[in-house]
Amino acid sequence: MKIHADPITVNCKKVLAGLDLIGAKYELVHVDYFKAEQKEAAYLAINPNSSLPTMVDGDFLLWESNAILQYAADKTGNDAVYPRDLKTRADINRWLLWESSSWFPSCYVYLVENCVKPLLGDEADPAVIAAQDAQFHKLASILDQRLSQHTWVAGDHVTIADIALAAPMHLHGWQQLPLDNHRHLKRWLTTAIEGLPCWQKTMIYQGFTTQKPN
């Protein structure tokens, strides 16, 4: 399968780390986000949303990062990271939908304000961050509550839900995500997630670079 992606973006980091966790082989087709290549005709032909990533597997095209992880886990037959048990799978699917509809948009505000804008020579707007504060803490408390019960989101084993939920926080320091009041979430992110080989292999650092700073 081919993954059209820019590894520096949240949803591409998610898919590349997730595919590594799953053990699915892929070929990366680099689409440069900061050069806006996702808006060019060649890319729009495979993804009319002009958003990254997109998977091409033979004649099958798939966009939506979480759908790509679900497909890859099923195709590979990796039931450990995407279990087939009815309730466990429904639970994971619920977190994937929550991540896409609620969690990513909230975390993204901090990424845009504290990372993207300063990088492009603009300033973070404290009013925009303040306006997101209540929503972020509401959502983070929901995830924190779940993570107070288990090591991983869906129990004692890492699943694709963990990768999806962590991806919008992958630059949490630079992003200045207010995590201190969410100790279970912070423990999960900074020890469990950041200890995963698939996460370490796909690390992105301050400045949106794959080069580890000295």
Ligand X SMILES: N[C@@H](CCC(=O)N[C@@H](CS)C(=O)NCC(=O)O)C(=O)O
Contact footprint for ligand X (CB under 6 A): 9-11, 38, 50-52, 63-66, 100
Residue 38 or 132 with smaller CB distance to ligand X: 38
Sign of the Cα torsion 109, 112, 117, 119 reads positive
Smallest gap from residue 210 Cβ to ligand X (A): 16
β-pairing verdict for 60-63 and 27-30? unpaired
The nearer residue to ligand X, 50 or 141, going by C-beta atoms, is: 50
In whole angstroms, give the CA distance from residue 163 to residue 173. Answer: 18
Task: Tell me the C-alpha distance between 80 and 88, whole Å.
Answer: 11
Helical spans, DSSP H, in 3-157:
10-22, 41-44, 65-76, 86-98, 104-111, 117-119, 126-147
Q: What are phi and psi of 137, to 5 degrees?
A: -70, -35
The CB-of-135 to ligand X minimum distance in angstroms stands at 18
Q: How far is the CB of 11 from ligand X (least distance, A)?
A: 4
**Element containing residue 213 per DSSP (H, E):** none
Nearer to ligand X, 100 or 190 (CB): 100
Shortest distance in whole angstroms from residue 148 CB to ligand X? 27
Q: What DSSP assignment string belongs to 125-137?
A: -HHHHHHHHHHHH
Number of CB atoms found within 10 A of residue 24's CB: 21
> Which residue type sits at 77?
G
Q: What's the closest the beta carbon of residue 138 comes to ligand X, in angstroms?
A: 21
65 vs 175 by CB, closer to ligand X? 65
Q: In the bound complex, what is the minimum distance in angstroms from residue 123's beta carbon to ligand X?
A: 20
Query: In whole angstroms, what is the distance from residue 51 CA to residue 35 CA?
Result: 13
For residues 136 and 208, which CB has a smaller minimum distance to ligand X in the complex?
A: 208
Nearer to ligand X, 94 or 157 (CB): 94
